Amino acid sequence: MVNSELLMVNENTFIRVFEDSEHLSRYTAAAFVAAAHGAIMERGIFTVALSGGGTPQQFYELLASPAYADQINWQRVHLFWGDERAVPPDADGSNYKQFKEAVIDHVAIPAENIHRVRGELDAEFAAHDYMRQLEAFALAHECVAGNLWPPLDLVLLGLGGDGHTASIFPYTPITIGRPTQAVTADYDGRPAHRVTLTEGVINDARQIWFMIKGLKKAAIVREVVQGARDVDRLPGQRIRPKNGMLTFLLDQPAANLLQ
């Protein structure tokens, strides 16, 4: 059991603050196990979209350890990504590679359950291909209700220092009716050509977790959570679940400026 302070923002948005990033990662790993159990019990499968970046690395490594990994029926887990960089799957900078090395290589997940963005393609093609994968999955699992994508059980997100989330960057024009989009953005020396889920898919998820840590994120966390609404400048504010739940999972430094 990991202790945290729980704050309610509104009826479907909560904030959990952990004393440090290790507690944050341990909680997230345990919560992932619980979310997988719940979804598999109710619907037979667990669908999750993963994020890249440095923040979830410790959580991913914990998840692959027997204490957590052995509690999950990986045969029933389907992996998607919230965003991907347009680089080959074996290149540094690939979000798929990050999760493959941390988790996939250590658990018995069938290859057909891995629905990755094909970053080796041109970003426009990769976005189109990913859209088709989502549509085919939704149809195959009969979880489509007039939509072109499945309602995912869990979307894991990070928050950039500039307020971006997934690869929805400040002032990126987003076509909400389209599930995926190619984006070009420079951030922190990372690959600029990317593919992202749009907020339509993210906000249809049953659970959305923003995992954010470190003092350098404190100001942007405050703006996204408590600042005036400005979704063009602060893409993190686009995340508002339709029927699901949004939880901000923060370490103490990232929560430092919240009131």
- Judged by the rule CB under 6 A, the positions of this chain that interact with ligand 6PG are 51-55, 82-83, 95, 158, 160, 164-166, 190
In terms of Cβ atoms closer than 10 Å to its own Cβ (0-12, 13-18, 19+), residue 47 is buried
Q: Which of 103, 131, 104 is nearest to 117 (CA)?
A: 131
Distance of alpha carbon 32 from alpha carbon 255, whole angstroms: 22
With respect to ligand 6PG, which residue has the nearer C-beta, 151 or 163? 163
Give me the sign of the Cα torsion angle 188, 203, 20, 37: negative
Task: Determine the residue with CB nearest ligand 6PG.
Answer: 158
Q: 76 in helix, strand or coil?
A: helix
With respect to ligand 6PG, which residue has the nearer C-beta, 16 or 164? 164
With respect to ligand 6PG, which residue has the nearer C-beta, 35 or 86? 86
With respect to ligand 6PG, which residue has the nearer C-beta, 131 or 166? 166
Give me the sign of the Cα torsion angle 159, 58, 62, 94: positive
CB of 213 to ligand 6PG, least distance (A): 8
> Contact 124/88 with Cβ under 8 angstroms?
no
CB of 74 to ligand 6PG, least distance (A): 22
With respect to ligand 6PG, which residue has the nearer C-beta, 56 or 200? 56
Could you tell me where the DSSP H helices lie in 45-119? 57-63, 66-69, 95-102
CB of 181 to ligand 6PG, least distance (A): 14
- Helix, strand, coil in percent for the chain, rounding step 5: 35, 20, 45
Distance of alpha carbon 194 from alpha carbon 117, whole angstroms: 10
CB of 102 to ligand 6PG, least distance (A): 14
Angle (CA) 28 53 3, round 5°: 20
CB of 54 to ligand 6PG, least distance (A): 4
With respect to ligand 6PG, which residue has the nearer C-beta, 52 or 200? 52
CB of 111 to ligand 6PG, least distance (A): 22
